[in-house]
A and B are shown apart, each in its own frame.
Chain A
């Protein structure tokens, strides 16, 4: 098996930072083998070559969420990434390591997580069971399939990689971000929880602020799929009374798409747009589109898909 350790010298280019000196790049050479994780490479650099190098790591097995950083530009857990895998993928024995994007750097690869934690706590990340259960007078029975569904979203390790990769977090201060949504949904969907109304108030508006770009889905090391949690949270909108403008518009948008597909078998962009944003906003946007040359897409006449009845049948089976 592993007689061939594939030992090889690798150059680690690390982006360093401290408040006194600002940013600089530093290079280290280290011999690694096919089993060496990035956390182990960093540990060896620190204890054998340069004790001033700072980074976070704890479990070395992808469960504590300490070691998020950018490796060759990709947001990764350093412990879950093998050095030679990256060398092979990029066909270069020079690898770069940088702090995660979005967060404020504190020291080398260590970034400030305070704002991230604030977001997580905003969603009240804990179960609020009934008084009877809390006092031990009643017992929870959770269906195995509910356990499975909730456990998927409960496995978030607060590593922050998804937030560092999310474009919406950067531009929309009202958006809670992917990790907080995963956490929030895990409790929103728990049949044992008693503050569903309050959770909807916290989560629903924000859930319509995600752009569905799937960055969070791509980077999450625990396969949480925060965007799926957001999608599922949106489906609670119809149960919620005090909808915000964003949520209402989002809901209309989805309805419009649904109707459009039901009618034509396709997403008729123009009709969907009109229904979502209303006449006035659509006109404003139309003028903008004609200026940018995008108008032609809005004016395309949609041809109905053949077998539209089949589609209607399928969609009718779904709960609307």
Chain B
């Protein structure tokens, strides 16, 4: 097998991976960045609304970073590590200004300074934005910047597995998709910045490529996931393509209706109505659909028609465009079809405030793949882009520190190890007949949606665990019918499925064990938050077929838990 050596290897070309790469390369180290898509096609491009930042002199005069931290902690239902949230808030202005200096075209106030808008859960407005395509603008700016540095990009390369030696990183095996050639990347440090996992769910706002590969890679290498049971659902995704219709629509007065034309939120949240928190609205919509008051296909109506053409086109341009382009619906005259969909993963690879994983020396993680944890049980809108940049940078700096002070050289017989990884990958898809990835995948997505979704209970979760374990058994007889030796996407889809099944096992087990409701984790059999027993992080390892769970205290600095009422 071909071998190549780097000081650090990054998996992921989204905002988090690029930011880490920038820091490590700027310090003079040799960096490889592996991404299964050309970096600008990463999911970060899809972010719409904006990035939160307190910028001194350019924020509401009453605002300060402490309010931002408080909003984040409360939004996360107190499962947030408060030291991490403080860092996030304190560094927010600096990081946004850095992207501005690199050319990001933030919307401006008349005086030429960066403009600001309100987002859900903020005491003062602090979201910075580039039209309605903030993610795309930031991703392109950062990619263009990093592409001018000394970073070797391996685009359309698929990372398979980590190679470790005595619980230390020794390298990573990845495969060029165009030629199907595997490479061993020898390195002391690996940053996993592989993003989220929306494809685990039947309905998701995420990109098709968000299959949670990094979680599978980390788990198989023996690293833990933190808080894997926390999956965020967004109430209003467009039917059937699950494209996000921003909360702004309801903020401007859009009304959710069932097939009887009733404003059903009056039943579920009489005071806040359609503007109740995301988790409550999501649960309400699912209840309506389950009880037969949805539309055929399974959705409800988001009605803007009473707002009038001018208002819609001026204030809700994106919702209008999305409905028009992707659902063929003219929101001026007909309601937009919506339903909840998976949106974000609060759980992730267990790392500290510097992106370091405690289980494996030299393993780092950042962005949606990591759990620092700044989002706790429920992420606030516009905090995730900020997370990718702030912790992408922190992690990059931590890698530099690590490389500066680590004389250790991986020595072991990695060749064998690397060969075995490739063999394993081929083995489980080697049979001459059997099931295709699609069959297992579609079942998995239904199981996750039905039993590990917006509503959970013991029976459903037990059922899910046994179904997932059956599906996991089936992949050993999985069969790749495509024998092509160039860009064999069927093969990579099968590998993605393996990662998804490893992750699904861990999510379902952690959700079964957490016997309370907190943020996005809602147990119908335990509907209340239980701080006495459950104000703690889940730490989950995957050992063969069993999930091993321990707990870790939440870091509380200044904000004591209060009931989360809005």
Chain A residues packing against B (C-beta within 8 Å): 1-3, 5, 18-20, 33-37, 39-40, 43, 46-48, 51-52, 54-66, 79-80, 82, 84-85, 106-107, 110, 112-113, 117, 121, 124-127, 129, 133-134, 136, 139-144, 147, 150-151, 154-155, 157-158, 187, 190, 192
Expressed in whole angstroms, the Cα–Cα distance for A48 and B437 within the complex equals 9
- Check A5–B296 contact: CB distance below 8 A: yes
Interface membership of B140, Cβ < 8 A? yes
Least Cβ–Cβ distance between A104 and chain B, in angstroms: 11
Which residues of the partner chain B approach A58 to less than 8 Å between Cβ atoms? 37, 41-43, 45, 207-209
Which residues of the partner chain A approach B145 to less than 8 Å between Cβ atoms? 126
Which residues of the partner chain A approach B109 to less than 8 Å between Cβ atoms? 144
- Check B487–A35 contact: CB distance below 8 A: no
Chain B residues packing against A (C-beta within 8 Å): 37-38, 40-43, 45-46, 97, 100-103, 105-113, 130-131, 133, 135-137, 140-141, 144-145, 147-148, 178, 207-209, 239-244, 295-297, 301, 322, 325-329, 334-335, 337, 436-438, 441-442, 480-482, 484-490, 493
Expressed in whole angstroms, the Cα–Cα distance for A48 and B440 within the complex equals 11
Least Cβ–Cβ distance between B102 and chain A, in angstroms: 6
Main secondary structure of the interface of A (DSSP, over half): loop
A-B contact pairs, 11 of them (CB 8 A): A19-B486, A46-B490, A48-B442, A51-B438, A57-B208, A63-B45, A106-B178, A107-B486, A142-B105, A144-B107, A147-B105
Q: Which of B328, B486, B490 contacts A82 (CB 8 A)?
A: B328
- Check B239–A63 contact: CB distance below 8 A: no
- Check A142–B112 contact: CB distance below 8 A: yes
**Which 3 A/B pairs are nearest by Cβ-Cβ distance?**
A127-B103, A47-B438, A141-B112
- Check A147–B107 contact: CB distance below 8 A: yes
Expressed in whole angstroms, the Cα–Cα distance for A97 and B164 within the complex equals 45
Q: Which of A37, A134, A141, A143 contacts B241 (CB 8 A)?
A: A37
Expressed in whole angstroms, the Cα–Cα distance for A129 and B103 within the complex equals 8
Given contacts A47-B441, A65-B41, 7 further A-B contacts (CB under 8 A): A40-B240, A55-B489, A58-B43, A65-B40, A106-B487, A144-B107, A147-B107
- Check B328–A46 contact: CB distance below 8 A: no
Expressed in whole angstroms, the Cα–Cα distance for A308 and B477 within the complex equals 82
Least Cβ–Cβ distance between A96 and chain B, in angstroms: 21
Expressed in whole angstroms, the Cα–Cα distance for A190 and B178 within the complex equals 37
With A1-B337, A80-B325 given, is the CB distance from A144 to B108 under 8 Å? yes
Expressed in whole angstroms, the Cα–Cα distance for A57 and B295 within the complex equals 29
Expressed in whole angstroms, the Cα–Cα distance for A167 and B110 within the complex equals 42
- Check B487–A54 contact: CB distance below 8 A: yes
- Check A59–B37 contact: CB distance below 8 A: no
- Check B241–A151 contact: CB distance below 8 A: no
With A35-B241, A54-B489, A66-B41 given, is the CB distance from A59 to B46 under 8 Å? yes
Which residues of the partner chain A approach B40 to less than 8 Å between Cβ atoms? 64-65, 157-158
Which residues of the partner chain A approach B38 to less than 8 Å between Cβ atoms? 113, 117, 158
- Check B442–A43 contact: CB distance below 8 A: no
Which residues of the partner chain A approach B97 to less than 8 Å between Cβ atoms? 136, 139
Which residues of the partner chain B approach A54 to less than 8 Å between Cβ atoms? 482, 484, 487-490
- Check B100–A62 contact: CB distance below 8 A: no
Centre residue among B42, B100, B244 by max chain A CB count within 10 A: B100
With A20-B484, A51-B437 given, is the CB distance from A40 to B103 under 8 Å? no
Q: Which of B103, B108, B328, B485 contacts A126 (CB 8 A)?
A: B103
Main secondary structure of the interface of B (DSSP, over half): loop
- Check B493–A51 contact: CB distance below 8 A: yes
Q: Which of B45, B105, B325, B485 contacts A154 (CB 8 A)?
A: B105
With A35-B326, A110-B487 given, is the CB distance from A157 to B144 under 8 Å? no
- Check B43–A51 contact: CB distance below 8 A: no
- Check B108–A3 contact: CB distance below 8 A: no
With A80-B325, A142-B112, A147-B107 given, is the CB distance from A127 to B37 under 8 Å? no
Q: Which of B111, B131, B327, B328 contacts A151 (CB 8 A)?
A: B131
Least Cβ–Cβ distance between A315 and chain B, in angstroms: 33
- Check A2–B334 contact: CB distance below 8 A: yes
With A2-B334, A136-B101, A154-B137 given, is the CB distance from A52 to B482 under 8 Å? yes
Q: Which of B108, B111, B325, B484 contacts A52 (CB 8 A)?
A: B484
- Check A85–B438 contact: CB distance below 8 A: no
- Check A64–B207 contact: CB distance below 8 A: yes
Which residues of the partner chain B approach A5 to less than 8 Å between Cβ atoms? 296-297
Q: Which of A112, A133, A157 contacts B136 (CB 8 A)?
A: A157
With A34-B328, A58-B207 given, is the CB distance from A143 to B112 under 8 Å? yes
Which residues of the partner chain A approach B481 to less than 8 Å between Cβ atoms? 51-52
Expressed in whole angstroms, the Cα–Cα distance for A214 and B40 within the complex equals 26
Which residues of the partner chain A approach B441 to less than 8 Å between Cβ atoms? 47
With A47-B442, A64-B45, A80-B325 given, is the CB distance from A126 to B144 under 8 Å? yes
Q: Which residue of A has the minimal Cβ distance to B243?
A: A61
Expressed in whole angstroms, the Cα–Cα distance for A59 and B208 within the complex equals 6
- Check A2–B295 contact: CB distance below 8 A: yes
- Check B490–A2 contact: CB distance below 8 A: no
Expressed in whole angstroms, the Cα–Cα distance for A113 and B178 within the complex equals 11
With A2-B295, A133-B101 given, is the CB distance from A48 to B438 under 8 Å? yes
Least Cβ–Cβ distance between A244 and chain B, in angstroms: 26
Q: Which residue of B has the minimal Cβ distance to A125?
A: B144
- Check A121–B241 contact: CB distance below 8 A: no
Least Cβ–Cβ distance between A84 and chain B, in angstroms: 8
- Check A85–B328 contact: CB distance below 8 A: yes
Q: Which of B100, B148, B239, B297 contacts A140 (CB 8 A)?
A: B100
Expressed in whole angstroms, the Cα–Cα distance for A271 and B273 within the complex equals 72
Q: Which residue of B has the minimal Cβ distance to A84?
A: B328
Expressed in whole angstroms, the Cα–Cα distance for A34 and B297 within the complex equals 12
With A40-B241, A59-B207, A125-B144 given, is the CB distance from A51 to B487 under 8 Å? no
- Check A2–B480 contact: CB distance below 8 A: no
Expressed in whole angstroms, the Cα–Cα distance for A151 and B133 within the complex equals 10
Expressed in whole angstroms, the Cα–Cα distance for A284 and B240 within the complex equals 62
With A35-B239, A47-B438 given, is the CB distance from A52 to B490 under 8 Å? yes
Least Cβ–Cβ distance between A113 and chain B, in angstroms: 7
- Check A190–B239 contact: CB distance below 8 A: no
Q: Which of A35, A107, A190 contacts B327 (CB 8 A)?
A: A35
Centre residue among B241, B243, B295, B334 by max chain A CB count within 10 A: B241
Which residues of the partner chain B approach A124 to less than 8 Å between Cβ atoms? 148
Which residues of the partner chain B approach A82 to less than 8 Å between Cβ atoms? 326, 328
Expressed in whole angstroms, the Cα–Cα distance for A56 and B482 within the complex equals 16
Q: Which residue of B has the minimal Cβ distance to A133?
A: B101
Expressed in whole angstroms, the Cα–Cα distance for A303 and B110 within the complex equals 49
Q: Which of B242, B334, B485 contacts A1 (CB 8 A)?
A: B334
Centre residue among A2, A54, A112, A155 by max chain B CB count within 10 A: A2
Expressed in whole angstroms, the Cα–Cα distance for A35 and B484 within the complex equals 33
Which residues of the partner chain A approach B100 to less than 8 Å between Cβ atoms? 140
Expressed in whole angstroms, the Cα–Cα distance for A52 and B494 within the complex equals 12
Q: Which of B133, B296, B486 contacts A63 (CB 8 A)?
A: B133
Which residues of the partner chain B approach A154 to less than 8 Å between Cβ atoms? 105, 137, 140
Least Cβ–Cβ distance between B37 and chain A, in angstroms: 6
Q: Which residue of B has the minimal Cβ distance to A139?
A: B97
